[in-house]
Every structure is written in structure tokens, then in C-alpha cells.
Amino acid sequence: MSAWEAVVGLEVHAQLRTRTKLFCACPNEFGAPPNTHVCPVCLGLPGALPAPNEAAIDLALRAALALGGEVRERSVFARKSYFYPDLAKGYQISQFALPIIEGGAVPMALEGEARSAALTRIHLEEDAAKNLHVQGETVVDFNRAGTPLIEIVGEPVLRSGAEAEAYLRALREVLVFIGVNDGNLEEGSFRCDANVSIRPKGEERLGTRVELKNINSFRFVRKAIDHEVARQAALRESGGEVVQETRTWDERQERTVAMRGKEEAHDYRYFPDPDLPPLVVDAARLARAEETLPELPAAMRARWVETLGLTAQDAGVLAAHPAIAAYFEAVATGLGEAAGLKPAKAGKKAANFVMAEVLRETATEGVEARFPAAAPEVAALLALVEDGTINGKIAKEVFAKMVATGEPPKTIVEREGLAQVTDTAAIEAVVREVLAANPKQVEQYRGGKTAVLGFFVGQVMKATRGQANPKAVNEILRALLAEG
């Protein structure tokens, strides 16, 4: 086994988050009743013609900028011909000889070390419909037909299942953060095929490759590739030859299985689609795409560590989801402004509260997230802690009430009388009462057993229902006990 080197290249199909399909005005939306998001164009009716969705092209440009690919000024849509019931026109509109994007790389971390995996190209294409098997019959749902995709073709530079998984996670993170894709593997909006071959270590020439298709989770990608590499190695070692074929991952049997007994040699007869003029992207359009490109997750994490005082680990947690990242930033900024804190201090405090309290009650779905309270309200709550109106413990109670009622923190604090007592005269009165009621402990303190101070603090807090400013209580206690 160790005599072999695995050579893996991934092809990812990522659905673009546009409102409508790539060549018609039908909604690009998952989960509608079958064949309700269809029209003459995506059904491939006689006479229907494709008209490109400019928004899809702009999202592809955004992906190019995020992944460092080079945008071709003039790219060409091509027809890829084959017969299959899920392909309405008998051809798929894709790009072939002249794709919109060439090169680029996926920035990834491998065992903590930053690395990047080169890309061959990224091209635009339309998705096919979906064959469904219902009561022994094959039926077709055309809702997905014509959905915009980018196919991201990676160079064969990955060397294991684990590397492939890291690559995919990093790629998905970037695409999700820039709003290009929703990263949903289960719904098939982020799909992966893997080309796997092996060669003796030190050998340059590539071995016969096997294409692994339809692997719909990160874990399965890793397992499928590792098993496939082992299978090929065992085959070669026992004197066999790897056959070029398409296989898929069988989770139950924990092995890859051939999808078709004999692979037909496909000639897709690509040629430029005469219905679509060359796609021209000028410098101005690329510049506009650059202006709207959101900050990439790696840069965001670095900035948070640098300027917001976060640990790398906390930055990782908060930047795992684009909506959560945006939420955290809003809380940190809001708190900094409201309480006049330096970014590093506000960032740290916002991060602690968001991770400890808010995330527990946050539900994410795709790229969306439902937060228990709006970011400005949470910032306002933390600002109340900073200005001493409430203490940290009360803040948690107020937050729970904010979640339950949807009211702003200030309203809750005022109505429930939760503001800290900082009035020294009022605190002093309570302290005197507590000291008078506990002469024995006063004796002990004055005898040098200063640890009983905590007992007095507890009693005072209890008497004020937690609202007394702990710092003031401490000071007054010490002063009165010293008086003798």
C-alpha cells in the first residue's frame, strides 16, 4: 500500500444562488411540487430559446475573484450532446473549449498548515432535470432543469481522502461566504465527483483513473476515495489492471461499486451553441463584481484575531457560517459604539456572549440563520453591563426575557427594576443591617479572618436581590468593618 501514491482530482457542481434559472425566468428553488417551475425553455419545447441570466454570470465572476481564477473576456457556451430522459433538449448547455474562468486555487488548511490546491477551470452550465422512480416507473421532474451551475474542476493534486475532504470543506466555505452557493449537500446544490488513480511513488505518469460519482457527504467522499485507492492498490498488487469506469460509494457495503457494467465511450459532440452569442465580460463588469465581493472567511478570521481580540479558535467558531459571522460583527461594532470600547475589547466581550448565550438558541438552515434576538439589541444589552446598569449575571436573565418577549433590554431592565443599586447611601444602609445582624462574623473578621468578607457580600446581595453593585458593596463593607 505505501508503495503507491494516490492521485485525486475533484469536480464540483455548485448551484448558483440566483432567483431564476440560467436561461429562463422560472424560479430557481428547491422543493416545489414536481414540474411546477417549468416553461417552454426549460422543458425544451420546440421553438424555445435560451436567454442568459446575467445574475448567474455575475455570481460566476464572484467565484472567480474569490478563488483567484482568470476571467476570460470572451467565453463560449457549447452544447454537450447525449440522450437521457432528464435532458430536455438532448444536449446540455455548458462551456467547453473556452470556459469563463481558468486557473485559480482553493485555499485550504491541512493539519494546521496553509496550502492551496490548484484549479483547472470553472465553467457555467445548466443542471439537468431529475429522474424519479415511482412505483416501478421512471418519471421526470423538470423543476431542476436549467438551474445554473458552476463546475469547478480541480487539478489532480490531492493525495488522500482526507485531503479531498479538506479541499471540499474549504471550497464550500468560500462559495457559501460569497453568496454563490448554499452549500447544501443533501439537496444536491453542492455535488462532488472524484477522479481517482494510483501510481507507484516517484512515478510521474498517471495511472488509469476511475470516476467516483454521486457522493453526497464529506465523510463519504473521504471514505470512498480511501477505499477506492485501497481497491486499486490491491488490484495492482495481485497482478490486475485498473479499468477506466464509473463507480459509486455504497455506504452499506462500505465499498465502491461499478455503476455500469460496461462504460459506453461517449462522444459528446461539443460545438458552440448557435443560440448564444459569445459571453463577453469587460473590465467594468469585472470591477463591479469586485466591488460587491464580500470578505473571504480566511481573511475575516485573521482580521478578527488581529483587531477584535479573538482567539483563532473563537474566530473559527464564529466564522463557520456567514450569517453568524455577520451577526457577531454587528454585535461587536454596536457594543463598541454604544459603550465607547476599543474594538479588541468589544470584540472579545461580544464573542463571549454570542458563543455562550446566542448560538445555543440559533437555528441555521442553508445560508440563513434564525437568531433569538437582533444583533443591535444584544449590543445594547452588553452596553448596559459596560456602563454598570446591570451586572453580567443579570444580563443573562435579561437576555432570556428578550428572547421570550422580543422586548428591548432597556424596557425589561426598567420594568423589572433590575438596574444595579449604585447609590452608596442605600447600600450602606443594607450593609449596616447585615453587620448588625451578624455580630459573630464581624468579630471573626476583625480577629483577622478576612475570608468572611465573602459571606457579608453574599448577604448584602441577597438582601438587594442581586442588584447591588458588587464593587460598591465590597468597598463599603471594608470601610465599615475597618471603622470598628
Partner 1 sequence: MSAGRWLDAGVVGAADAVAAGAVTAEALVGEALGRLRSDPHNAVLHVDGEAALEAAQQVDAARAAGEALGPLAGVPVALKDNLCQRGTPTTCASRLLEGWVAPYDAHVVERLRAAGAMLVAKTNMDEFAMGSSNETSAFGPVKNPWDPARAPGGSSGGSAAAVAARLVPGALGSDTGGSVRQPAAFCGLFALKPTYGRVSRYGLVAFASSLDQVGPFARSARDGARLFAAIAGRDGRDATSADAPSADWEGACARGVEGLRVGVPRALLEGASAGVRARIDAALEALKDAGATLVDVTLPHAKHGVSVYYLVAPAEASSNLARFDGVRYGLRVEEGGGLDAMYEATRARFGPEVKRRILLGTYALSAGYYDAYYLRAQKVRTLIRRDYDAAFEACDVVATPTAPTVAFPLGERTDDPLTMYLSDVYTLPASLAGLPAISTPAGLSEGLPTGLQLVGRAFDEATLFAAAGALEKAFGPLPSPVPAGPGEHAGEEGAS
> Which residues are near partner 1 by CB under 8 A?
40-41, 43-52, 79, 81, 83, 85, 88-91, 140, 267, 269-271, 273-277
Closer CB to partner 1, 49 or 299, in the complex? 49
Kindly give the interhelix angle for 297-307 and 161-177, rounded to the nearest 10 degrees.
80
Using DSSP, state whether 61 is helix, strand or coil.
helix
Hey, what's the cell of 246?
Answer: 464509473
Smallest distance, partner 1 to C-beta of residue 22, A? 12
Smallest distance, partner 1 to C-beta of residue 16, A? 18
Smallest distance, partner 1 to C-beta of residue 53, A? 11
78: Cα separation from own chain's centroid: 32
Closer CB to partner 1, 83 or 260, in the complex? 83
Smallest distance, partner 1 to C-beta of residue 246, A? 18
Q: Rounded to whole angstroms, how far apart are CA atoms 283 and 291?
A: 12
Handedness of CA 219, 197, 157, 189 (dihedral sign): negative
Closer CB to partner 1, 218 or 271, in the complex? 271
Closer CB to partner 1, 44 or 188, in the complex? 44
Closer CB to partner 1, 136 or 484, in the complex? 136
Smallest distance, partner 1 to C-beta of residue 268, A? 8
Smallest distance, partner 1 to C-beta of residue 58, A? 17
Hey, what's the cell of 87?
Answer: 435532458
- Nearest Cα to Cα of residue 424 among 459, 386, 464, 394: 464
Strand order in the sheet with 271-272: 91-95, 77-81, 271-272
Smallest distance, partner 1 to C-beta of residue 196, A? 25
Closer CB to partner 1, 89 or 348, in the complex? 89
Smallest distance, partner 1 to C-beta of residue 277, A? 6
Query: Is residue 343 a contact partner of residue 332, using CB atoms and an 8 Å limit?
Result: yes
Closer CB to partner 1, 43 or 461, in the complex? 43
Closer CB to partner 1, 85 or 392, in the complex? 85
Looking at this protein, which amino acid is placed at residue 385?
V
Using DSSP, state whether 156 is helix, strand or coil.
coil
Smallest distance, partner 1 to C-beta of residue 39, A? 8
Please, where are the H alpha helices in 391-469?
Answer: 392-405, 409-416, 424-437, 439-446, 453-463
Hey, what's the cell of 306?
Answer: 488581529
Closer CB to partner 1, 78 or 289, in the complex? 78
- Nearest Cα to Cα of residue 229 among 249, 204, 253: 249
Smallest distance, partner 1 to C-beta of residue 128, A? 12
Query: Is residue 242 a contact partner of residue 232, using CB atoms and an 8 Å limit?
Result: yes
Residue 417: HSE in the Cβ half-sphere, 13 Å Cα cutoff: 5
Smallest distance, partner 1 to C-beta of residue 344, A? 52
Query: Is residue 215 a contact partner of residue 194, using CB atoms and an 8 Å limit?
Result: yes
Closer CB to partner 1, 51 or 356, in the complex? 51
Hey, what's the cell of 33?
Answer: 411540487
Label the pairing between strands 77-81 and 113-126: unpaired
**CA distance readout (Å), 206 to 165, 198, 209:** 21, 7, 8
Closer CB to partner 1, 272 or 408, in the complex? 272
Longest Cα–Cα distance in the chain: 101
Query: Is residue 101 a contact partner of residue 71, using CB atoms and an 8 Å limit?
Result: yes
Closer CB to partner 1, 274 or 484, in the complex? 274
**CA distance readout (Å), 33 to 15, 37, 299, 325:** 19, 8, 40, 34
Smallest distance, partner 1 to C-beta of residue 289, A? 21
Looking at this protein, which amino acid is placed at residue 207?
G
